[in-house]
Structure 1
Amino acid sequence: MEISDIIITGDTPGVEWRLPVFRFKGTKPEAPRTYIQAALHANELPGTALLHFLLERLRQADTDGAILGDITVVPQANPIGSAQSLFGELQGRFDLGSRANFNRDFPLISLSERDTLLEDLDRYSAADRLKRHLIHMALGAELVLDLHCDDEGLPYAYIDEAFWPEAADLAATLDMKAVLLSDGESSAFEEAVGYAWKNEAEGRKRTALPGRLSVTVELRGTRDVYPEIARKDAEGVWQFLLGRGVVTGARLDLPTFAGRAVPLDNIEMIRAPVSGAILFHRDIGESVKAGDLLATILAKPGMPDGAVEVRAPQDGLIVTRVSTRFARRRSDLMKIACAEPSSAARKPGTLEA
């Protein structure tokens, strides 16, 4: 195992960040190369906990000669975000300097342009330099896992349709309850990796990428950071690596993926019609019917007409719920995975900012 730091120089004098990178050299050149990162949104830590325990397993596998394909692991992918605290609250989703989402605006390039990512880095802000280092490492692999989490949520993933249903093995080993099939139309990390692969050959865009995978894994909610859960998830990733021939060892007899796989157009983004305190009536993991009461918003507490009901637009599975209990008008409340497309218009790309 090799451990090294990538130095990200700050945009003001005397500031720099260190990005620790763990590398394992495989013994089988034809085995898939793997890149795994966590906490790109710095306050999303279930993936960091997972990788802590996975690295224990990988170190032992390295000693035993059980690592077949090269593996690169970045347990805390965003030291810039980890240093952002406002009034005691970690601000890890957006760069406070530019207001940009740390998981947006990754370079959309062809795979042949990979080496250009690290040229003339002084032209870019610290956040953009970080992004260019991360995607440069990822594009040296065939299997790319970007570990995130939601506010409150089931284990689920965003997977480009180009990787489905082959990626059902990862969904099964991590016991995902839902897979949201994305359209590959954003500049988020996993879709930027997929974009480079699809445009590997000049003038020809691939629509299927067998043997490759770039995925955003959502590991439940921000507070689901517990040793027993992290060990279970680390075992799930280990079993995925076993199945893909990245490592060798005993495999568990795992069930096939039995959750829901739906396109993003079938996700109902439940938003607050008014501002006020949120009273949730339904929880994540529950199946609902059209018209079911999901939440009540106390827009005018104490007034006879002060409570506004929010109901399910169609049948579906509640995948996520916000952790806050105060809503601004039109703020997100829930994601519901449904069998039919939503009647709400959706722009191509991600569901949230």
Structure 2
Amino acid sequence: MDISDIIIAGDTPGLEWRLPVFRFKGTKPEAPRTYIQAALHANELPGTALLHYLLERLRQAASDGGIRGDITVVPQANPIGAAQSHFGELQGRFDLGTRSNFNRDFPLIALGERSSLIEDIDRHSAVDQLKRQLLHMALHAELVLDLHCDDEGLQYAYIDEAFWPEAADLAAALDMRAVFLSDGESSAFEEAVAYAWKHERSGERKTSLPGRLSVTVELRGTRDVYPELARKDADGLFRFLAGRGAVVAQDRPLPAFGGVVAPLDNIEMIRAPEAGAILFHKDIGESVGAGDLLATIIARPGMPNGEIEVRAPQDGLVVTRVSTRFARRRSDLMKIACAEPSRMIRRPGTLEA
């Protein structure tokens, strides 16, 4: 195992960031190369815990000669966000200097332009340097996993339709309850990787990418950072890598994936009609029917008719909900995965900012 730091120059004098990178050299050139990162949104830590335990497994595999394909691991992919605290609260989703999301605005380039990402890199801002370094490392691999988490949520993933249903092995290995099939229309990290693969040659756009995978894994919620969960997920991820031929492990076939599969157009984004205190009536993991009461918003406390009911627009599975108990008008409350498209108009790309 090799451990090195990528140095990211800060935007003010005397400031720099260090990005630790763990690398394992494979023994078989034909085996798939793997890139895994966590905490791109720096306050989403279940993935960092998972990779801590996965690295234990990989070090043991390396000592046993069981690393077949090159593996690169970045357990804390965002040192810039990890240093941002406002009144004691870690602010890891958006860069406070530019107000940009750390998981948006990745360069959309053809695979053949990979080297251009880090040419004359110091001319870019620190945040753009970080994004370019991460994307440059990922585009050297065939299997790319970006580990995130939701607010309160089930285990699920965003997977480009170009990788489905081949990616069902990952969903099964991590015991996911749902898969959201994305449209590849955003500039998020995993979609920037897929974009480069789809546009490997000038003038082409592939719609299927066998043997490759670029995915955002949502590891439950922000508070689900426990050793037993992290070890379970690390074991599942190791089994996935073994199934893809990246590492050697005992032959234990994965079960079939039995969770919900829903295109993004079938995700009901439940939003608050008015500001107020949130009283949830349904929890994550519950199946709901059309018209079921999901939440009550106490918009005018103490007033007659001061409550507003929020009901399910159609049948589905509650995959996420917010942990806050105060809503602003039109703020997100839940995501529900459904069998039918939502009646709400969705712009191409991600579900949230």
- When normalised by structure 2's length, the TM-score is 1.00
2:82 is matched with 82
What displacement does 1:253 show?
3.8
Report SS of the residue matched to 1:297: strand
Q: Residues 161-217 of structure 1, C-alpha deviation per residue, up to 9 Å, x if partnerless?
A: 000000000000000000000000000000000000000011110000000000000
1:4 is matched with 4
Structure 2 residue 135 is the aligned partner of structure 1 residue 135: yes
Q: Does structure 1 conserve the Cα–Cα contact (< 8 Å) formed by 2:278 and 2:326?
A: yes
Report SS of the residue matched to 1:114: helix
Q: Does structure 1 conserve the Cα–Cα contact (< 8 Å) formed by 2:9 and 2:122?
A: no
The residue identity in structure 1 corresponding to 2:232 is K
The residue identity in structure 1 corresponding to 2:133 is H
Q: How does 1:71-110 map to 2 (within 5 A)?
A: 71-110=71-110
1:225 is matched with 225
2:328 is matched with 328
After TM superposition, the runs of 4+ consecutive aligned structure 1 residues lying more than 6 A away are none
Report SS of the residue matched to 2:129: helix
The residue identity in structure 1 corresponding to 2:43 is N
Q: Residues 97-123 of structure 1, C-alpha deviation per residue, up to 9 Å, x if partnerless?
A: 000000000000000000000012122
Q: Residues 75-98 of structure 1, C-alpha deviation per residue, up to 9 Å, x if partnerless?
A: 000000000000000000000000
Structure 2 residue 287 is the aligned partner of structure 1 residue 284: no
Percent identity for Structure 1 against Structure 2: 81
Structure 2 residue 211 is the aligned partner of structure 1 residue 211: yes
Aligned partners of 1:119 and 1:22: how far apart in 2?
22
The residue identity in structure 1 corresponding to 2:121 is L
Q: Residues 54-85 of structure 1, C-alpha deviation per residue, up to 9 Å, x if partnerless?
A: 00000010000000000000000000000000
2:18 is matched with 18
Aligned partners of 2:204 and 2:41: how far apart in 1?
33
Q: Does structure 1 conserve the Cα–Cα contact (< 8 Å) formed by 2:239 and 2:249?
A: no
Q: How does 1:1-353 map to 2 (within 5 A)?
A: 1-353=1-353
Aligned partners of 2:15 and 2:150: how far apart in 1?
30
Report SS of the residue matched to 1:102: coil
Aligned partners of 1:31 and 1:284: how far apart in 2?
38
The residue identity in structure 1 corresponding to 2:241 is L
Aligned partners of 1:253 and 1:209: how far apart in 2?
23
Report SS of the residue matched to 2:180: strand
Aligned partners of 1:298 and 1:126: how far apart in 2?
43
- When normalised by structure 1's length, the TM-score is 1.00
Aligned partners of 1:184 and 1:251: how far apart in 2?
34
**Deviation larger for 118-127 or 202-211:** 118-127
Aligned partners of 1:334 and 1:277: how far apart in 2?
15
The residue identity in structure 1 corresponding to 2:202 is E
Gaps of 5+ in 1: none
Aligned partners of 1:150 and 1:306: how far apart in 2?
30
The residue identity in structure 1 corresponding to 2:317 is L
CA RMSD of the aligned region, Å?
Answer: 0.5
